[in-house]
Chain A
């Protein structure tokens, strides 16, 4: 069957000719179709990831060459941001902090969450459960536009007087209230942007959970759900219940900034020698508790959808069922539950007592168990499989050890006593970037290469996909591996000069200062980071060119997958399935003995006909 593609700007085609004619605006901008919304989130998320990368590329220059004008973009910085922020085209300390705070915020809230949860979730989940759309399509549209508006506010904050927020993505008070002299400033924009983004996520979470509970096709029992759907289900619960405390905190910090309250400002605050004109009585720790109450479940929001994608691609490219489906499901539920009671391991250095620290240390250790179970099940799933080494599978295979490194290096951070040494150092940066960058982002790349044929009807180019993979893998490791050592030596985070002030060169009498080797590595990391950016160019070109020139799919199910999203026309029309779906079997029915093909679609009845 010829797969026709009417792709314009990467949006899904509207192939259902019985539908009334929709205008451009209602078809592509204000669509309520989950597939269009998924693509909207996907394109936006990828653009923000690129922008967040750009910020980091400039930051690494500053760390390796502090005070030196940035090559290529220096003059642009000077002309747009002015000589205070970018003197002579170099990055000032304040600008570095702004870049740093926004890099984190944009990557997490505007890049990964929209891409991993909203984009892939919106497109794939209704298809995988056999539904015609999400439970609340208009709420879905509102959710995207809220997100987009939040992104605009965040982006706009760079261009207002004083520039963007510069108090870390964690926005700790009192700095977040005191960092800017202007009343309405980058931090204000950050808070308003966050409120919009949180609202978007809450609406999305309600939609996902209601959809998965209510709109599963007949026969799609809970234990027949693809693991990807389970992962998104738990992620949605994390967003639903963990985001509101941060929203509350954001409102309170906004009141501190705009209306002179002192929720997070302690008594006796002195700024630059003069007592601050605040009423006092507040608690900076309160902000930290509220922030990390979200902050920790947030990191599981970043990884769980990625694990879901990995599961789908492993099963498909080993041609055998996943090992330990039940263990995977119970583990992901356990992770979701436990993630709410580990947050204060981000606060070990705040002076908490032994009992409370031990409590959080214990729960943190316990939560590593289901994570290891999931990774182990993935590894064991490879055993005895007929592995197909296509581009998605390569990214997924790399995910496994990369996430392993990320997870294992988290263990010292989970221990109270070790964290006292490692907190706020580059070790932490290395740890979480290993989990998110060669971890989650690799899984997202895999998902893009994997589901691209279903969305567009064409394959992405395999050769350039492999080039993208090998270069990314190499350079990711070159960027983040040295940071472990730097961190253990004591190089702390958020230093615009890369630690030069604490280096051995500047402090020869202090033997424990940052070694020359570590300082030298700043240059190496910068070059690797830039090379990593260049390595994405084949991917970007591949992504757009393949839409027109990519190899057309042979049929609607080019990977030979058993899950429902592949049992639709390509691309799926409005309403998704040609006829009502009924489910008869498990999600990963590959190589079933006695079956005619090496995969059995879930909607294939025992009699052999597909429903």
Chain B
């Protein structure tokens, strides 16, 4: 990465940096603007917000952090990390939502675990 960075190449990169900068500002405005748009479902709101954030983050990573032309060692490290990060998030939430058939959280409704479906 630190070898042979010609002046022309760097000038081109500076233009890209500025384009990304303004895109990020626009993305921020979009994020805040979408706050005032009411989606029907909560999941839609969350998904849209995360998509916008991910696009902004990808721009920073790809262009500011030069990830778009990085090396295999770094890509593989990040890929592995991303997999574990996703697994952690998904499994934490799934573990919370997957509970035995008859368990209800209010103690008064508690029925011991058995194979028969509720009601």
Interface residues of A (CB under 8 A from B): 213, 237, 241, 245, 285-286, 289, 293, 337, 340-341, 344, 347, 351-356, 359
Judged by a CB distance under 8 angstroms, whether B73 is at the interface is: yes
Partner of A241, one of B73, B84, B95, B99: B84
Whether A356 pairs with B91 at a CB distance below 8 angstroms is yes
Q: A residues within 8 A CB of B36?
A: none
Judged by a CB distance under 8 angstroms, whether B22 is at the interface is: no
Sample (24) of A-B pairs whose CB atoms are under 8 Å apart:
A213-B73, A237-B80, A241-B80, A241-B81, A241-B84, A289-B92, A293-B88, A337-B80, A340-B84, A340-B88, A341-B87, A341-B91, A344-B95, A347-B95, A351-B99, A351-B100, A353-B98, A353-B100, A353-B101, A354-B98, A354-B100, A355-B94, A356-B95, A356-B98
Q: Known contacts A241-B84, A341-B91, A344-B91: does B98 contact A352 (CB below 8 Å)? A: yes
Q: A residues within 8 A CB of B100?
A: 351, 353-354
Whether A340 pairs with B95 at a CB distance below 8 angstroms is no
Q: Known contacts A213-B73, A344-B91: does B84 contact A352 (CB below 8 Å)? A: no
Interface residues of B (CB under 8 A from A): 73, 80-81, 84, 87-88, 91-92, 94-96, 98-101, 103
Q: How far is the CB of B17 from chain A (nearest CB, A)?
A: 28
Residue of B nearest to A288 (CB): B95
Q: How far is the CB of A353 from chain B (nearest CB, A)?
A: 4
In the bound complex, CA of A347 to CA of B95 (Å)? 10
Q: How far is the CB of B52 from chain A (nearest CB, A)?
A: 25
Whether B95 pairs with A352 at a CB distance below 8 angstroms is yes
Q: How far is the CB of A423 from chain B (nearest CB, A)?
A: 15
Q: A residues within 8 A CB of B94?
A: 355-356
Whether A353 pairs with B88 at a CB distance below 8 angstroms is no
Q: A residues within 8 A CB of B88?
A: 245, 293, 340
Q: How far is the CB of B81 from chain A (nearest CB, A)?
A: 6
Having A241-B81, A293-B88, A353-B99, one finds 12 other A-B pairs with CB under 8 Å, namely A237-B80, A241-B84, A285-B96, A337-B80, A340-B84, A341-B87, A344-B95, A353-B98, A353-B100, A354-B100, A355-B98, A356-B91
Q: B residues within 8 A CB of A289?
A: 92, 95
Chain A interface, >50% SS class: helix
In the bound complex, CA of A245 to CA of B89 (Å)? 11
In the bound complex, CA of A340 to CA of B89 (Å)? 12
In the bound complex, CA of A213 to CA of B7 (Å)? 30
Q: How far is the CB of B75 from chain A (nearest CB, A)?
A: 13
In the bound complex, CA of A289 to CA of B96 (Å)? 10
Q: How far is the CB of B72 from chain A (nearest CB, A)?
A: 10
In the bound complex, CA of A248 to CA of B96 (Å)? 19
Q: A residues within 8 A CB of B101?
A: 353
The 9 closest A-B pairs by CB, nearest first: A353-B98, A356-B98, A353-B99, A340-B84, A356-B95, A355-B98, A289-B92, A353-B100, A341-B87
In the bound complex, CA of A549 to CA of B96 (Å)? 61
In the bound complex, CA of A289 to CA of B87 (Å)? 12
Whether B87 pairs with A340 at a CB distance below 8 angstroms is yes
Q: A residues within 8 A CB of B96?
A: 285
Q: A residues within 8 A CB of B91?
A: 341, 344, 356, 359
Q: B residues within 8 A CB of A293?
A: 88
Q: B residues within 8 A CB of A341?
A: 87, 91
Whether B103 pairs with A351 at a CB distance below 8 angstroms is yes
Q: B residues within 8 A CB of A286?
A: 92
In the bound complex, CA of A359 to CA of B91 (Å)? 10
Residue of A nearest to B99 (CB): A353
In the bound complex, CA of A356 to CA of B84 (Å)? 17
In the bound complex, CA of A286 to CA of B80 (Å)? 23
Q: B residues within 8 A CB of A356?
A: 91, 94-95, 98
In the bound complex, CA of A341 to CA of B90 (Å)? 11
Q: B residues within 8 A CB of A337?
A: 80
Q: How far is the CB of B16 from chain A (nearest CB, A)?
A: 29
Q: B residues within 8 A CB of A355?
A: 94, 98
In the bound complex, CA of A241 to CA of B80 (Å)? 9
Q: A residues within 8 A CB of B95?
A: 285, 289, 344, 347, 352, 356
In the bound complex, CA of A293 to CA of B103 (Å)? 25
Residue of A nearest to B96 (CB): A285
Whether B81 pairs with A352 at a CB distance below 8 angstroms is no
Residue of B nearest to A357 (CB): B98
In the bound complex, CA of A274 to CA of B81 (Å)? 44
In the bound complex, CA of A351 to CA of B98 (Å)? 9
In the bound complex, CA of A351 to CA of B99 (Å)? 7
Residue of A nearest to B92 (CB): A289
In the bound complex, CA of A501 to CA of B73 (Å)? 57
Q: How far is the CB of B8 from chain A (nearest CB, A)?
A: 30
Q: A residues within 8 A CB of B99?
A: 351-353
Q: B residues within 8 A CB of A352?
A: 95, 98-99
In the bound complex, CA of A352 to CA of B96 (Å)? 7
Q: B residues within 8 A CB of A285?
A: 95-96
Q: B residues within 8 A CB of A245?
A: 88
Q: B residues within 8 A CB of A359?
A: 91
In the bound complex, CA of A213 to CA of B73 (Å)? 8
In the bound complex, CA of A586 to CA of B78 (Å)? 30
Q: How far is the CB of A189 from chain B (nearest CB, A)?
A: 28
In the bound complex, CA of A354 to CA of B80 (Å)? 28
In the bound complex, CA of A336 to CA of B87 (Å)? 15
Q: B residues within 8 A CB of A353?
A: 98-101
In the bound complex, CA of A289 to CA of B88 (Å)? 9
Q: How far is the CB of B99 from chain A (nearest CB, A)?
A: 5
Q: How far is the CB of B98 from chain A (nearest CB, A)?
A: 4
